[in-house]
Amino acid sequence: MAKKSRGKIFKDPDYSNTASVSASLNEMMYLDQQITQVYSRLSGLIDRGTIEEDIVIYGPAGTGKTTLARLAVEQLIMESRDCQINVSSYYINCERSRTKLEILKELIDTFEKEQGISGEKIDEFIDSHEKRLIKLFSQFHGHVILILDELEESDLIYYFMKLMEPFSNITVIGIINNIYFENINNIKPIILLPYDKKQLTDIATAKAEKLFQPGSYDNEIIQLCLKHDDAGEIIDLLLTSARIAENKNDEMIRPEHVCRAEKLLEQNVAIKSAENLSLHKKLILLSIFYSEQMYDEVRTSQINNIYYRLCMQMNESCRSLRFVSETLAQLYRLDIIDMKKKTSSRDQYIPYDIRIIAPKEVLEALLNDRDFRALKEMFDLEFS
C-alpha cells in the first residue's frame, strides 16, 4: 500500500479537504471534572442497565458543551456495543428548529430514516406528533439519547423531559446557554465556565501541534485566531486558514490566509443558516429579496403580498401573519436581514425598512435550489 505524501501544512493531507477533524474526550482540555460528571451519569447504562436521570449542561457559547455531549455519547455507544446494548443518539439543534412542533417533526423524520421506517402522514397538531413519537420510541428495543442543543425557550427543555418521563429507555441531554435555566426538574446542571485567554491559547496551540507541520505556523497566527472567545470558532478559523494555505501550496500560514478564512466562515455560516430554514421561511426570505427589486423601501406588508404570490405559485397554503413576523425576527437574529425603524407620526406604529445583509452567495444558493426554479423564472420574466 502506497504511503501518504506529507502536506506542506497538515501532517495528514486528508485534513486539508475535510470539513472537520476527529477528536476524543481525552483531547478536551480544562474539562476533566465536567467530562467525569457527564460520563459517570451516562455509564450507568452499562453499570446498572439504566441512566437514572436526564442531563443538563450549562455554559456560555464556546465552552465546549456540544462537543462534550456528543463525544461522551459516542464513547458510550462504542462501549455499549461490547456489552451488546443497543444505543441510538439523535442530535437536534433547537436554534434551527425553534418550536415544539418543529423539533418533534425533526425527531420523527430523523428516527424514521435511521430505523428504516416509512413515514406516516400526520396533521399539523402537536398532539398528533407527540403520539407518533411516543409510538416510535415505545417500539424501539434499546436506549435512546436525545441531545437538544441551543435551548433558548424556557419551556422547551421542561416539555421534552416531561414528554419522555414515562420511558426508562430515553435520556434527554439539554444544552443551554442561559443561567436562569440552572435548576431544571431538580437536576443539578453540569457547568462549563468560559475559558481565559491563556486556556484558549493552549487549546489552539495543542490543536496546531497535533495537526500542522513544524514551522508551518507561528505564534502570530495563533494570536490572530484568538480574536474570538469561542474555542470552537478559534479552531475553525485556524483550520480554515491552514486549508487555504495548503490549497495555495504555501509552506506557512500567513495573516492574509486568516483574513480570507474569516470571510469564508462568515459566508458559510450565513449559507448554512439559510439552508436550514423551513420551506416557508425560505419563501419569506425570497419575498424580501424580490421586494428589494420592486421597492425603494421594503415593509412587512410588501413582503406579505409577495409571500402570498410565492405560496400560490407553489400550491402551498400561506402561514399566518404572526409566522411571517416571527420569521423576520429569526432572520434578523441570524444576521441574514437588517430591520431599521423608520420615523413615524405619534399615533402610528413604527414601520421597519427591511434589507438583506447576508452575502450574495446566500441568495444565489437559494435561487439555484431546484424547488424554487419556477419562482425564479416567474420573477425573471417580470423584471425583464
pLDDT (0 to 100) of residue 27: 87
DSSP E strand boundaries for the chain:
55-58, 87-93, 143-151, 170-176, 190-191, 337-341, 352-356
Contact (Cβ atoms closer than 8 angstroms) between residue 7 and residue 213? yes
Residue 90 and residue 328: Cα distance in Å, rounded?
Answer: 29
pLDDT value for 351: 65
Phi first, then psi: give them for residue 331, nearest 5 degrees: -60, -35
Hey, is 176 helix, strand or coil?
Answer: strand
Residues 174, 179, 183: CA angle, nearest 5 degrees: 65
Dist. CA 337–CA 151, nearest whole Å: 22
Q: Of 146, 74, 76, 158, whose CA–CA distance to 108 is shortest? A: 146
Task: Evaluate whether 41 touches 51 at the Cβ level (below 8 Å).
Answer: yes
How many CB atoms neighbour CB 123 within 10 A? 7
Q: Where are the beta strands (DSSP E) in 199-345?
A: 337-341
Helices (H) and strands (E) in the chain, counts: 15, 7
Closest C-alpha among 297, 303, 364, 306 to residue 329: 303
List the pLDDT tens digit at each of the 384 positions of the chain: 444 455 689 988 777 665 566 678 888 999 999 999 999 999 999 888 888 889 999 988 889 999 999 999 999 999 999 889 999 999 988 876 667 888 888 888 888 888 777 666 666 788 888 898 888 888 888 899 999 998 876 678 888 888 998 888 899 999 988 665 556 667 788 999 999 999 999 999 999 999 999 999 999 999 999 988 899 899 999 999 999 999 999 999 999 999 999 999 988 888 888 887 888 999 999 999 999 988 888 989 999 999 999 999 888 899 999 999 989 998 998 889 998 876 654 545 556 789 998 888 888 888 877 778 778 777 777 765
Q: State the alpha helices, DSSP H only, in 83-125.
A: 100-115
Tell me the domains of the chain and their CATH numbers: 31-191 (3.40.50.300), 195-273 (1.10.8.60), 289-383 (1.10.10.10)
- Within 13 A of 246's CA, how many CA atoms are on the CB side? 22
Which among 230, 308, 309 is positioned nearest to 269, based on CA atoms? 230
Give the strand pairing for 87-93 and 143-151: parallel
Its pTM stands at: 0.76
Rounded CA gap, 384 and 373, in Å? Answer: 16
**Angle between helices 360-367 and 255-275 in degrees, nearest 10:** 40
End-to-end CA distance of the chain: 59
- The H or E element spanning position 171 is strand 170-176
DSSP one-letter code for 184: B
Q: Which of 237, 210, 212 is nearest to 223 (CA)?
A: 237
Q: Which amino acid is at 173?
A: I
What are the cell numbers at 205? Answer: 496551540
Which of 161, 229, 211 is CA-nearest to residue 189?
A: 161
